[in-house]
Structure 1
Amino acid sequence: MPPPHSQSRYSRRGLLGGGLILLTTLCIGGWPAPAEGSFRPDQLRQVMRNRYGDRGSTMLEEWFALLERLANQPLQTQLRDTNDFFNRRIRWLDDIDIWGQKDYWATPLETMGKAQGDCEDFSIAKYITLKRLGVPTRQLRMIYVRARIGRRQETQAHMVVGYYETPASEPLVLDNLVTTITPAAQRTDLDPVFSFNSDGLWAGGSTQSRANPLQRLSRWSRALTRMQEQGFL
C-alpha cells in the first residue's frame, strides 16, 4: 500500500487526477438520514418472510450470524468475510432479468431474498454490512468505474466498494469480478469515475464518461429510503 500521503486517482484528494468536487446531501436533494439505533432485525425478518419465504429467511439468518461472528474480529477479517459472504451466495444477473428494469439498485434484503444481483447490488450489500459492523462511513465508498473485461478488454460500467485507511490512501477494492480483496493500484483494469457513500458524492472532471452522478445518486437515495422502511437503517 502506498504511503499515507501519496496521491492516486482513487484518493479523496485525487479521485480522477483532476479537480475534486464534494456534493453534500444538501446539494443532491436531501438523502434520508439514518437514525441511530434504528436497525430492526424483527422487522427485517418479517419483511423477508413475507416477500421471499423460507429461502430468503435462511439467507437473512446467515447474514445475522455473520454480523455476530464478525462483531469483534480484526478489520481485515471483516472485509474478507463480508466480501466472501456475498460473492459466494449471490448469483450475478442483469437488473432487467431480475427486476424487469434496466437499472434498479436493490437493498441488501432484496438482493439476499432473490439471491441474485448486479454489481451495484453486491456493492450496496457489502457497504451496508461493513457499516453495520462499525466501519466508519468516512473510510468506505462505493466507486463507480469503467472496467475492462476479457481478452478484448471491452469496457463496461461497474461498481466496487473501496476501503480507505486514510482519506489519501490507495483503497482496498472489494469486487465481485475479482473475488480477492486487492489494493486499487493493482486493479489496472478499473478506471474510477466517481464515488459516494452515505455522506456525499466525490467526482472529478478529467475523465470522459456517460455516467451521470446525480441521476445515479437518485437511485441510491431511493434505495436508502427502502432500507429504512425494511428495517436496515
Structure 2
Amino acid sequence: MKISKTITFMLLLLLLGINSYAKVKQLNVPKITQALAAHYGPNAKQRVILWFRLLDQARGLDEKGKLLKVNVFFNKYSYIPDMKLWGHHNYWASPMEFIGVGAGDCEDFSIAKYFTLLQLGVAEDKLRIAMVRAPKLSQNHMVLTYYEQPSSVPFVLDNLDLDVKRASQRPDLIPVYSFNGRQLWLNKKKAQGVLAGSSNQLTLWNDLQDRLGVDKLNIPILNLESL
C-alpha cells in the first residue's frame, strides 16, 4: 500500500517535535489513522490514536514516569513469534508495523518502546536495546534498558514484566550485547558493558533503519511509505 507524501510529511513533522495530541489533530491525524486502518484493519486506527494520546499524556512526566507508562502501554500488545506473524524467522518490525498489527515478539516490543521514548524527549545516550539470555525461556530475549547515568545499573523494560526494575533485580536475564542508534556494546555485567563500535554492524538494525528512513541527522522517522 502506497501512502501519500503529504501523510508522510505530516508524520515527519510530528516526529520532529510536534507531538502534542492537540497539534497532532491539526495535522489531520484521521488521514494517518485511516491509512493504517486500510492496511492493517480497523483496530489499527484505534491503536495509533491511543499511541498519539500516550505521547501527549506522558510528555509532562519525569523520565521514570515515562518509562513506566510506555512499558505498560506496549505490554498490552500480544506476543506472536516472527514466523507466524511475518513469515520470517527473525524480523525486526518498525513501530508502525508493530502498532499496525498490535502484536510482535520481544524485539518488536523493545524497538517500539525505544523510539517512543525518544519522541518523549529521553536522550538516546540513556537508552539501549539489549540482547540477553533468558535461561528460564531457554532462548535469547530482547529488552530495552535505561541508564540514569552512564555508569549506573540500568532499568529494564521487558514485555514479560509490567514493572520497570533495575537489572540487578533481574537475575533471570544475562546480558550479551546492547545498542542504540549510534553504538554497540558487548555486555559483561549488569551495567555498562564494553564499547564495541557502531550499531551499524548489526544487519537487522540496518534493515530496520532503512525502513524507518533514518536521516543524516540521526533523527528516527517512522516512514509510512514502507507500509
TM-score under structure 1 normalisation? 0.73
Q: Residue 204 and residue 140 in structure 1: after superposition, are their counterparts in 2 closer, same or farther (change >3 A)?
A: closer
| Counterparts of 1:127 and 1:204, CA distance in 2 | 19
- 2:205 counterpart of 1:220: yes
Q: Residue 201 and residue 175 in structure 1: after superposition, are their counterparts in 2 closer, same or farther (change >3 A)?
A: same
- 2:151 counterpart of 1:171: no
Note if contact 1:104-1:219 (Cα within 8 Å) is conserved in structure 2. yes
Where relative contact order (Cα < 8 A, 6+ residues apart) is larger, the structure is 1
> What corresponds to 1:106 in structure 2?
93
- 2:182 counterpart of 1:199: yes
| Counterparts of 2:33 and 2:116, CA distance in 1 | 16
Residue 52 of structure 1 and its aligned partner are, at CA, apart by 1.1
| Counterparts of 1:190 and 1:75, CA distance in 2 | 23
Residue 179 of structure 1 and its aligned partner are, at CA, apart by 2.2
**Corresponding residue SS for 1:174:** strand
Residue 204 of structure 1 and its aligned partner are, at CA, apart by 5.3
Q: Which stretches of structure 1, 4 residues or more, deviate above 4 A after TM superposition?
A: 40-44, 213-216
Residue 75 of structure 1 and its aligned partner are, at CA, apart by 1.3
Residue 77 of structure 1 and its aligned partner are, at CA, apart by 1.2
> What corresponds to 1:87 in structure 2?
75
| Aligned residue identity for 1:182 | K
> What corresponds to 2:114 in structure 1?
127
**Corresponding residue SS for 2:153:** coil
Note if contact 1:44-1:231 (Cα within 8 Å) is conserved in structure 2. no
Note if contact 1:195-1:203 (Cα within 8 Å) is conserved in structure 2. yes
Residue 76 of structure 1 and its aligned partner are, at CA, apart by 1.5
**Corresponding residue SS for 2:184:** strand
Residue 37 of structure 1 and its aligned partner are, at CA, apart by 5.2
Q: Which runs of 5+ in 1 are unaligned?
A: 1-35, 207-212
- 2:55 counterpart of 1:53: no
Alignment: residue pair count: 187
> What corresponds to 1:146 in structure 2?
133
> What corresponds to 1:116 in structure 2?
103
Residue 115 of structure 1 and its aligned partner are, at CA, apart by 1.1
> What corresponds to 1:66 in structure 2?
54
> What corresponds to 2:144 in structure 1?
161
Residue 46 of structure 1 and its aligned partner are, at CA, apart by 5.5
Which has a greater percent of helix?
2
Q: Residue 181 and residue 221 in structure 1: after superposition, are their counterparts in 2 closer, same or farther (change >3 A)?
A: same
Which of 165, 180, 186 matches 1:182? 165
Residue 45 of structure 1 and its aligned partner are, at CA, apart by 3.4
Q: Which runs of 5+ in 2 are unaligned?
A: 1-11, 17-23, 190-197, 215-219
| Counterparts of 2:114 and 2:94, CA distance in 1 | 11
> What corresponds to 2:65 in structure 1?
77
TM-score under structure 2 normalisation? 0.74
| Counterparts of 1:139 and 1:45, CA distance in 2 | 31
Please tell me the root mean square deviation across aligned C-alpha atoms, in Å: 2.7
> What corresponds to 1:11 in structure 2?
none
Note if contact 2:145-2:157 (Cα within 8 Å) is conserved in structure 1. yes
Note if contact 2:33-2:44 (Cα within 8 Å) is conserved in structure 1. no
| Aligned residue identity for 1:39 | L
